[in-house]
Amino acid sequence: MHVGMKMAAYMGIRASRELELVSHNLANSSTVGFKRELLNLWRLPPSGAWPADLEEPAAYVDVRSRDLGQGALHETGNDTDLALQGPGYFKVQTPRGVRYTRHGTFHLSPQSQLVTKEGYQVLGKNGPITLDARDQKFTIDEQGGIHLDNNLGDQILVVEFPNPQDLLPEGQTYFLPGPQAGEEMEAKNTRVIQGNVEESNVDLMAETLALIDLQRRFESYMKVLETFAASDRKVVEEIGQIT
Amino acid sequence: MFRGMFAAATGMGAQQLRLDIIANNLANVNTTGFKKSRGDFEDLVYQTIRQAGGELPGGGQMPVGQQVGLGVRPVGIAKIFSQGDYVHTENELDLAIEGKGFFKVLSNGVEYYTRAGSFKIDKDGFLTTPNGDRPQPEFSVPPQTTYITVDTGGKITCFGPDNKPLSTGQFSLYTFPNQAGLSSVGRNLFQPTEASGDPIEGTPGVDGVGTLAQGYLEVSNVNVVEEMVNMIIAQRAYELNSKAIQTADAMMERAYHLKT
């Protein structure tokens, strides 16, 4: 098979993979704390396995990343809705272990603990956070400190990673640090905004453009494939034919 | 491509649910004591296609893995218990709660909780909601009553023709550890669930359950403009998800025509 044909086929498959990503982003355009996923094409360094007088065809590999840009803050008026402004993550104790999330629509459990939508405990500096908000008004400051009747109580833990791109999405808006994510540390430049949620940073306009672009690219790769196929057919059917 | 189609289909489902919630909020924009809802969504599990740290062809290591997401699913519909605005009705039996509390009412022998304080007097002289459910503890208004006062602490007093108090009673208010966990049963009533925790009784103005305002009603906390904006966004997002499905379809058709 022609090298070019292989390349066109690969790029076609890649466009369909991009479509999967765009669909996923569009589906999550109203998921709180969602970060849009991107697919990048990396050109690999030459392997050197080719003879020096031939030009080695380019080899590519797909790399997924996340657009970590800030989502818009949306005021909800719920005391336990917390939005993060900055690169940090909340730390949550799930039955599978500790996970990280930016989905800050929390609730109070019947035991007055701050929990996620599934009932998992949100972790503070001293472990799970217990609030008694029944007869006291509580406020949460931008550092995550919890004030009950103006007395500073526990502090919500907000952490960040040196390489947040390697936080592996697990679904349910939770992340698990991958091997390259680095050690977690206390977030310096992240503010906690009470009574708000961070909307998904999916830009419907950008996704629409991506949709049009990938479809046209897919069609042109198919055209390239057809051209190769047509020239092959010519070789097989016409050249060498005894007339 | 099939994964993309299904992901977009889950997106359409999510926007549909969102629109259902908006429609219900808008329908109740004038309902006394109504609390708006909001859909909460989360991303579905990811399929790992390539692990991070894997060997690259031509040497080197993948710094990040590759995972494909499979769409979205609704995780819950949360009631938002922010305070609604107050309207002055001058009706002596209209009571608004300023704070987190709920009234307890008895409907067909079952206890429910409500914030809609537009009370009436039934044929037996008892205080009741417009549906005929009596607030607990029951309070009977003597027939000779000319006017009724309710103070911020929940003390209700009926006065006779000569401005003498005929009878007094006391309203209790109830709070929940997690009021977002209350189950809404319609008719402005809520029922405690496992998630909300048990009701805690309190006296208005004393136990932080809130105070009462006579002659006022708490209107719904739905903001029409906000709901309208949400409706526009939901519709556009729905359309774009359907576009993604159409695109997948067109691409598959194009690939199919390769082999002729």
3-state helix, strand, coil in chain A (%, to 5): 25, 35, 40
- Closest C-alpha to A211, from A71, A60, A29, A26: A26
| pLDDT for A212 beyond 90 | yes
Q: What is the pTM of this model?
A: 0.84
CA atoms within 13 A on the CB side of B20: 9
Domain count, chain B: 2
- pLDDT for res B59: 59
Reported confidence tier of residue B49, pLDDT bands at 50, 70, 90: low
CB contact, 8 Å: B160 with chain A? no
- Under DSSP, the state recorded for B108 is T
Q: What is the pLDDT of residues B190-229, one digit of tens each?
A: 999 888 888 989 999 887 788 999 999 999 999 999 999 9
Q: Are residues B76 and B107 in the same domain?
A: no
- pLDDT for res B60: 62
ipTM for this prediction: 0.78
Opening angle at CA A169, ends A205 and A141, nearest 5: 80
- Closest C-alpha to B101, from B81, B121, B127: B81
Residue from the list A31, A63, A211 with its beta carbon closest to the beta carbon of B42: A31
Residues of chain B neighbouring A136 (CB-CB closer than 8 A): 208
| CB-based contacts of A177, cutoff 8 Å, min separation 6 | A100, A161, A166, A167, A168, A184
Q: What single letter denotes the amino acid at residue A243? A: T
Residue from the list B196, B233, B247 with its beta carbon closest to the beta carbon of A211: B247
| pLDDT for B55 beyond 80 | no
- pLDDT for res B22: 95
Q: Are residues B93 and B10 in the same domain?
A: no
- pLDDT for res B63: 58
How many distinct helices (H) and strands (E) make up chain A?
2, 19
Residues of chain B neighbouring A78 (CB-CB closer than 8 A): 78, 80-82, 180
Q: Are residues B182 and B195 in the same domain?
A: yes
| pLDDT for A132 beyond 80 | no
- Core vs surface per residue B45-59: b (16+ CB within 10 A) or e: ebeeebebeeeeeee
Q: Are residues B104 and B214 in the same domain?
A: yes
| CB-based contacts of B21, cutoff 8 Å, min separation 6 | B37, B38, B39, B77
Q: What are phi and psi of A71, to 5 degrees?
A: -85, 160
Residue contacts between A and B (CB atoms, under 8 Å): 230
Q: How far apart are CA B204 and CA B154, in angstroms?
A: 6
Reported confidence tier of residue B245, pLDDT bands at 50, 70, 90: very high
Reported confidence tier of residue B28, pLDDT bands at 50, 70, 90: very high
Q: Are residues B54 and B8 in the same domain?
A: yes
- pLDDT for res A239: 80
Cα nearest neighbour of B206 on chain A = A135
Mean pLDDT, all residues of chain A: 87
Residues of chain A neighbouring B76 (CB-CB closer than 8 A): 117
Neighbours of B204 (CB within 10 A): 25
Least confident interval from A4-8, A130-134, A203-207, A222-226: A130-134
CB within 8 Å: B46 and A208: no
Q: Which residue has the higher pLDDT, A77 or B134?
A: B134
Q: What does the domain layout of chain A look like in residue ranges? A: 3-68+202-242, 73-198
Q: How far apart are CA A114 and CA A91, in angstroms?
A: 12
User: What burial class does residue B161 get, using C-beta atoms within 10 Å of its C-beta: 0-12 exposed, 13-18 middle, 19+ buried?
Assistant: exposed
pLDDT-above-90 percentage for chain A: 45
Residues A230, B260: contact at Cβ < 8 Å?
A: no
CB within 8 Å: A23 and B233: no
Mean pLDDT, all residues of chain B: 88
**What is the extent of the structural domain holding B18?**
1-81+223-258
Q: Are residues B47 and B90 in the same domain?
A: no
Residues A32, B19: contact at Cβ < 8 Å?
A: no
Q: Are residues B32 and B96 in the same domain?
A: no
Q: How far apart, in Å, do the first and last CA atoms of chain B sit?
A: 21
Q: Are residues B96 and B196 in the same domain?
A: yes
Q: What is the pLDDT of residues B124-164, one digit of tens each?
A: 889 999 988 999 888 888 888 899 999 999 999 999 888 88
| pLDDT for B17 beyond 90 | yes
CB within 8 Å: B43 and A28: yes
CB contact, 8 Å: B37 with chain A? no
Residues B103, B170: contact at Cβ < 8 Å?
A: no
Residue from the list B45, B209, B244 with its beta carbon closest to the beta carbon of A171: B45
Neighbours of A29 (CB within 10 A): 27
